[in-house]
Amino acid sequence: MPIAQTKDNLKLNDFLIERRKFMRIRFGDLSARTGIPAKHLKKIEKGEWCDLPSGVYVKGFLKKYAQTVGLDEAEVASRYESEWNQICALPASLAGNQNLNRFDLLKNISLRKIFTAAAAVFVIGYVLWQFRVILERPDLNLENPPTEDVVSAEAVLELAGRVSPGAALTVNNDPVYPEESGGFKKNVELLPGLNVLEIKAVSRFGKESKIIRRVTFNP
């Protein structure tokens, strides 16, 4: 009975099951009568063609299945090849390599997926890092003087601290040139009385960090 004359809309595995049930043959009886191992027969009736042994063995199984349930062997084989090509066929770049076994092919496909995923993660991480750099203010830490309000008896105060590398640094709008590591020092001459010092760092994207120190000079 050609498959095309029954139910073309059914997948091969579904049609085989329907035919077996129509013939009132139980699963276990079919396995015994055809000699198809139960584990392979289950995969056939689930349509898990990619998980079965090589095509030669599967075609042999399907031939016995078709003979037992009264189906056309050629039709069954044709449907199997069509579905296998749709589901299990390898990419052209791998299909032409005759030296690769199934494990090698799966390994190559898995490695390709891993590399693709790793590249995607790297790109996403880099983009997020760039956004972080753009949106964040530069780090600015002042080690000396450590407190906001300071009283000094010296006419010169040494400012010392650390800033994010690449940020522009000023003290009361006078430029300060940090080291490559970000460390900086600057001597500031104090006037008698209150001196307000504004230490400001500006990133290349215009984000600012600012520290204020009030230094009272009592000669």
Q: Which pLDDT tens digits describe the chain residue by residue (219 residues)?
A: 444 444 567 889 999 999 999 999 999 999 999 999 999 999 999 988 888 887 788 888 999 999 999 999 999 999 988 888 888 865 544 444 444 455 555 555 567 778 788 888 888 887 776 666 666 888 999 999 999 999 999 999 999 999 998 889 999 999 999 998 999 999 999 999 999 999 999 988 888 999 999 999 998
Q: Which fold has domain 3-89?
A: 434 Repressor (Amino-terminal Domain) (1.10.260)
Q: Any residues with CB less than 8 A from the CB of 74 and at least 6 apart, and which?
A: none
Q: Rounded to 5 degrees, what angle do the CA atoms 113, 118, 121 make?
A: 125
Q: What is the pTM of this model?
A: 0.42
Question: What distance lies between CA 4 and its chain's CA centroid?
Answer: 44
Q: Which CATH architecture is the domain 140-217 placed in?
A: Sandwich (2.60)
Contact (CB, 8 A) for 169 and 194: no
Contact (CB, 8 A) for 193 and 170: no
Each domain of the chain, given as residue ranges in start order, spans 3-89, 97-134, 140-217
Residue type at position 156:
V
User: What CA–CA distance (Å, rounded) separates 45 from 49?
Assistant: 9
Give the strand pairing for 140-144 and 156-163.
antiparallel
Return the SS3 of 187. Answer: strand
